[in-house]
Structure 1
């Protein structure tokens, strides 16, 4: 038993030395140190937990940060996955939550659009409505924690250099669109306006 414990501790030390962290333990180191965070549901559980997780990871979350993470939409769906028992009173349900988000840069230019998706199955027992509701509630809590963790992983992959490149491309697109609109306006201004066609009077 002692040898086994020592082996487990040894593996944990080796993995941590390689930069590996067990899920749900430790802190996620982010290269982004400043971030503005908002959501359609400004006081929802997801954005609240994400803000806390970001702050725990050393990110200064505040308005006016160079980049803004916006949770644009969180949509949940449910479908019956399978039925169990001859009476059909028990069933497995699959919950799916899709979280859409954007990252905006300077001058509110859009840099990135993406989404996260998590799924979880829970059992609904027709003979135990209260217990089934509690299990569904617990499943949703776990899914929300998974969403927050997955978002941190996504953000962990983004570096300030990558964001600067995305910002540069967005600025170039915005300038090209502005130039095109200006050229179209000039062309319209330079085009002679034709007078209405007058038909000869008989």
Structure 2
């Protein structure tokens, strides 16, 4: 019994470290009260649904907010997982990957990560219309899962974490600027060699 309890506690700790939360636990409150939201496909369904979810959670979404979430890339893919008799039907795996960036003050990158969701479905060669409709429905479900996953990621960011990420980003920016200045100083102080003169015979 004790071993089982320790196993459960260990699994819970491991999942918590990965950012996993059981439903009904933790808080749904976001550290972001204001957030700018951008995407490569600014009029796509994913960014629209995410904006609605943020606003439903009490977040004011507008251009010029202190923090910005940018959906940099969303890719959908499909691969055959298994084949059945006669090759009339096959099981396919649908995958959607969403890359995103959280920016802070002066557009500094605070973190960069990605979300990935996948589902399987059976394509029936004898019912092409039905299979196509099911594929479209699964794509919608994957998009909802992406939005939910993005909300969970945002919920895990505390004000202290955001402040720490901003401080590290500012330090990186200062170090990069100092390195550029030093490189320029070295270049300016390095004597330019004149072309080699070939002695006349």
- Structures share a fold, TM > 0.5? yes
Question: Tell me, what secondary structure is at the counterpart of 2:194?
Answer: coil
Equivalent in the alignment of 1:44:
44
Offset from partner CA, 1:98-136 (integer Å, 9 cap, x none): 000001111111111100000001111111111001100
Q: CA RMSD in A?
A: 1.7
- Work out whether 1:195 is the aligned partner of 2:174: no
Q: How far did 1:187 drift?
A: 1.2
Question: Tell me, what secondary structure is at the counterpart of 2:198?
Answer: coil
- State the alpha-carbon separation in 1 of the partners of residues 128 and 191 from structure 2: 75
Q: How far did 1:20 drift?
A: 6.3
Q: TM-score, normalised by structure 1?
A: 0.85
Q: How far did 1:28 drift?
A: 3.3
Gaps spanning 5+ residues in structure 1: where? 1-18
Q: How many residues align?
A: 180
- Work out whether 1:33 is the aligned partner of 2:39: no
Question: Tell me, what secondary structure is at the counterpart of 2:87?
Answer: coil
- State the alpha-carbon separation in 2 of the partners of residues 34 and 111 from structure 1: 16
Q: How does 1:67-82 map to 2 (within 5 A)?
A: 67-82=67-82
Equivalent in the alignment of 2:133:
134
- State the alpha-carbon separation in 2 of the partners of residues 41 and 97 from structure 1: 15
- Work out whether 1:181 is the aligned partner of 2:180: yes
- State the alpha-carbon separation in 2 of the partners of residues 92 and 149 from structure 1: 26
Q: How far did 1:88 drift?
A: 2.2
- State the alpha-carbon separation in 2 of the partners of residues 146 and 89 from structure 1: 30
Equivalent in the alignment of 2:116:
117
Q: How far did 1:21 drift?
A: 4.1
- State the alpha-carbon separation in 2 of the partners of residues 139 and 165 from structure 1: 38
Q: TM-score, normalised by structure 2?
A: 0.85
Question: 4+ runs of 1 displaced by more than 3 Å?
Answer: 19-22
Question: Tell me, what secondary structure is at the counterpart of 2:92?
Answer: strand
- State the alpha-carbon separation in 2 of the partners of residues 192 and 142 from structure 1: 64
Q: How far did 1:87 drift?
A: 2.1
Q: How far did 1:196 drift?
A: 1.2
Offset from partner CA, 1:24-78 (integer Å, 9 cap, x none): xxx9321211110010000000000000001001111111111100000000110
Q: How far did 1:171 drift?
A: 0.7
- State the alpha-carbon separation in 2 of the partners of residues 132 and 37 from structure 1: 34
- State the alpha-carbon separation in 2 of the partners of residues 59 and 93 from structure 1: 37
Gaps spanning 5+ residues in structure 2: where? 1-20
Question: Tell me, what secondary structure is at the counterpart of 1:87?
Answer: helix
Equivalent in the alignment of 1:65:
65
- State the alpha-carbon separation in 1 of the partners of residues 146 and 28 from structure 2: 14
